[in-house]
Chain A
Amino acid sequence: MHGLVNRSIQRFIVDSYGAEIWGEICREADLGFDNFEAMLTYDSALTNAVLAAGCRRLKRKRANLLEDMGTYMVSHPDLVPLRRLLRFGGDTFVEFLHSLDDLHDRAALALPDLDFPQLELREHALNSYSLIYRWRQHGFGTLVLGVMRAMADDYGVLALLGHSSTLGEFGDVDTISISLVDTQFAEGRGFELGAAE
């Protein structure tokens, strides 16, 4: 698993529960270290061990923990870059949804060694979509659900999101259903193309 994912788990747990608990989780998972490097790649077994230890220590279900982490990754002020890169997808939430089809390729352009889920948007009726998510890494679908919740918020859109998961031949195939209730529900956060210095 790419270090970015592991590093995000680390930051999420440290920011939400404290460095001490993160240290305990690392020992519990028998990592032998307590700091993931974002630019290195780790065995996926380590990632799953940390998540398992985290769920035990925090008494939380993996799916819920990952969903919170997805939300954290987009909404936490320290993690502006990810949010910005997602906002490049479009000026409106609907444009953003359509840009998700390209996200896998975009991510590969920026980080060729990043193993990234395949996303595919299907439009059913006006304001009703499903996002099909495929990844050979098992059990990360709700992370994307959390990201989508936070992005809807970011655009100031009121949306109802649902999630279901199936195991396909080549890994997880999840469906995130999205129905837009109000596209101008709130102000949303601004986005300038040019990054602040």
Chain B
Amino acid sequence: MTQDHTLPTKALVAVPRKGPALSLAGLDMLMPLHIWIGPTGHILRVGPTLQKLRPDIEIVGRRASEFLEFRRPREVQHLDDLLAFEGQQISVLFRDPPRNSLRGLVVGLPRGQGALLNLSLGISVAEMVRNYGLNSKDFAPSDSTVEMLYLIEAQSVVLQEAKSLNSRLLGARVAAEERAFTDTLTGLKNRRALDHILNRLTNSRRRKRFGLMNVDLDYFKSVNDTYGHAAGDHVLQKAASIFVEETRAEDIVARTGGDEFVIVLMNCDDLTKLKTIADRIIERLEKPISFEGAECRISASIGTTVSSFYPTLEIDRMCSDADAALYQSKNHGRARSTIFQPAALAQPKQGLKAPEA
């Protein structure tokens, strides 16, 4: 305690009564963006960086209000108008284009020397630095402008990377959707999945037995046209669940087009059974499907063929034969199922029974 009185640490330093007399070079170093405004409102001096922002203009000697448009405070006729805002934030724009805005602080000088307005590059700092070729020497090290530029640049690199990651992820998603095996509306297998499965069936070393059923909904278009797409979608979903319920877990149900479906019945080439399944499907589809008060009525035409008809399994042939049977159903007035009959069909298909020669 006593030491504090006997050896006051401040005693050796005289507390100054006046501010420091600053050299002009010192002023430039401390505040490279300053404007010294004289008592008459004329500019007496500008910092070197500020001059760089307006290289072709003789700034010194002009009235401050001719060089700058004051935004805050609005009315600056005399120096006193500006000094009324001493200590507060000043906003200005260059009068000549490009009209960048700057922020600053004004402080009055003693003995009628006017005022110092110290400015900083506002929000358009990056643009100004680029346009006027400023470098780090143009900013006082105590000014964080350079740090800010660093951050802006680092952030934009990061953002670029993030954006390109996003677009790659989006591309990956699209690609994944293209590779998907599921029909998104009904949850059934899609065409791709079906092709995949049929290929596996025909290329398998051990010959597989299966039935192939092509199903076309009848009157579906009129449901869509009368009650709208939402009703149509609902009908498709309902039909899909009927197909699934009327088949076994190992069977494949695929939606191959708008109202076209293919059912592969595994290990089943019993024509009577297949006919029964097809007829039951039709019967269930014909029960009205209600959707928001509307009764949607559809049916189906079905064409079926089985693997045992073919000495050599050819998927394309089987599909087109199932289609032929399907069209026979259509031609006979729809809402029915037909089993493809190899021998009974047109002449060119006679050769079917013989092995390829």
Contacts of A109 in B (CB 8 A): 151, 154
Q: CA separation between A194 and B158, bound complex, in Å? A: 17
Q: Which of B129, B130, B151, B168 contacts A110 (CB 8 A)?
A: B151
- Whether A88 contacts B149 in the complex (CB less than 8 A), given A110-B158, A194-B130, A194-B131, comes out as yes
Closest Cβ of chain B: how far from A94's Cβ, in Å? 14
B168, A37: Cβ atoms closer than 8 Å: yes
Contacts of B151 in A (CB 8 A): 109-110
- Within B119-142, which residues are at the interface with A (CB < 8 Å)? 126-127, 129-131, 133-137
Whether B157 pairs with A194 at a CB distance below 8 angstroms is no
Query: Are B126 and A194 in touch, CB under 8 angstroms?
Result: yes
Asked if B135 contacts A193 (CB within 8 A), the reply is yes
- Decide: A81 near B157, CB < 8 A? Known: A91-B136, A195-B130: yes
Distance from A85 Cβ to chain B, minimum over Cβ atoms (Å): 6
A39, A84, A91, A197: the one contacting B153 at CB < 8 Å is A84
How close is B122's CB to chain A, nearest CB, in angstroms? Answer: 15
CB pair B136–A90 under 8 Å, yes or no, is yes
Task: Give the most central of A40, A192, A193, A196: most B CB within 10 Å.
Answer: A193
State whether A195 and B136 are in contact (beta carbons under 8 Å apart), knowing that A37-B165, A37-B168, A111-B158 are contacts in the complex. Answer: no
Q: Which of A18-62 contact B (CB under 8 A)?
A: 37-40
Chain B residues near A40 (CB-CB < 8 A): 165
Residues of A within 8 A of B154 (CB): 85, 106, 109-111
- Interface size class of chain A, counting residues whose CB lies under 8 Å from the partner chain: 20 to 34
Asked whether any CB of chain A lies closer than 8 Å to the CB of B161, the reply is: yes
User: Closest residue of chain A to B139, judged by CB?
Assistant: A193
Q: Which residue of B lies closest to A80 (CB)?
A: B157
Distance in angstroms between the alpha carbons of A196 and B131 in the assembled complex: 10
CB distance from A93 to the nearest CB of B (A): 14
Cα distance A38–B168 when bound, in Å? 12
Q: Are A91 and B168 in contact (CB under 8 A)?
A: no
The chain A residue sitting closest to B134, CB to CB, is A193
How many whole Å from B259's CB to the nearest CB in chain A?
A: 40
State the CA gap A194–B137 with chains docked (Å).
13
* Mask: chain A, 86-130; 1 = CB below 8 Å from B; 0 = not: 001011000000000000001001110000000000000000000
CB-nearest residue of chain A to B160: A81
Cβ contacts under 8 Å, B150 to chain A: 85, 88, 106
Is B350 located at the chain interface by the 8 A CB criterion?
Answer: no
Q: How many A-B residue pairs have CB under 8 A?
A: 61
Which residue of B has the minimal Cβ distance to A84?
B153
Closest to A109 in B: B151
Nearest-neighbor residue (CB-CB) of A82 within chain B? B157
Determine whether the beta carbon of A91 is less than 8 Å from that of B161: no
Contacts of A193 in B (CB 8 A): 129-130, 134-136, 146, 149
Chain A residue numbers with a CB within 8 Å of B126 are 194-195
Complex alpha-carbon distance, A126 and B37, angstroms: 44
Q: Which residues of A contact B185 (CB under 8 A)?
A: none
Chain A residues positioned under 8 Å from B165 (CB to CB):
37-40
Distance in angstroms between the alpha carbons of A8 and B156 in the assembled complex: 18
Min CB distance, B337 to chain A, in Å?
48
Scan residues 144-196 of chain A and give those whose CB is less than 8 A from a CB of chain B: 191-196
- Residue numbers of A with Cβ under 8 A of B are 37-40, 81, 84-85, 88, 90-91, 106, 109-111, 191-197
Closest 6 CB pairs of A and B: A194-B130, A110-B154, A194-B129, A88-B150, A81-B157, A39-B165
Besides A192-B130, A194-B134, 19 new A-B residue pairs in contact (Cβ under 8 A), listed by A number:
A37-B165, A38-B165, A40-B165, A84-B153, A85-B154, A88-B146, A88-B150, A90-B136, A91-B136, A91-B137, A109-B154, A110-B158, A111-B158, A192-B133, A192-B135, A193-B129, A194-B127, A194-B149, A195-B126
Ordered by A's residue number, 29 sampled pairs between the chains whose C-beta atoms are within 8 Å are A37-B165, A37-B168, A38-B165, A40-B165, A81-B157, A84-B153, A85-B153, A88-B136, A90-B136, A91-B136, A106-B150, A109-B154, A110-B151, A110-B155, A192-B133, A193-B130, A193-B135, A193-B146, A193-B149, A194-B126, A194-B130, A194-B131, A194-B133, A194-B134, A194-B149, A195-B130, A195-B153, A195-B156, A196-B130
